[in-house]
Amino acid sequence: MHSLGPLEVILILAVIILLFGVGRIGKIGGELGKSIREFRKGLEGDEVKKPSEAKPSEGSDTKASP
């Protein structure tokens, strides 16, 4: 497998900057970072919910009635 060298990486970045412009790349980077943060928050929310799902709720029928 061939890995990219430093000259090839610089050439790819130069083409991307020419195509999109510096300002647009900054916006894309910010949106990507925001998306990653939201995705991680969503994953943490799922992990927090799992233990609480195992506990019976207060209004459940697990208590014996008199």
- Is the separation of the CB atoms in 56 and 62 below 8 Å? yes
* Domain residue ranges in the chain: 20-49
Residue 33 has phi, psi (to 5 degrees) of: -60, -40
The pLDDT value given to residue 33: 93
Q: How far apart are CA 28 and CA 4, in angstroms?
A: 23
pLDDT at residue 46, as a whole number: 67
Could you report the per-residue pLDDT of 17-54, keeping only the tens digit for each?
Answer: 888 888 888 888 899 999 999 999 998 876 655 555 55
| Per-residue pLDDT at 49 | 56
Residue 23 confidence (pLDDT)? 84
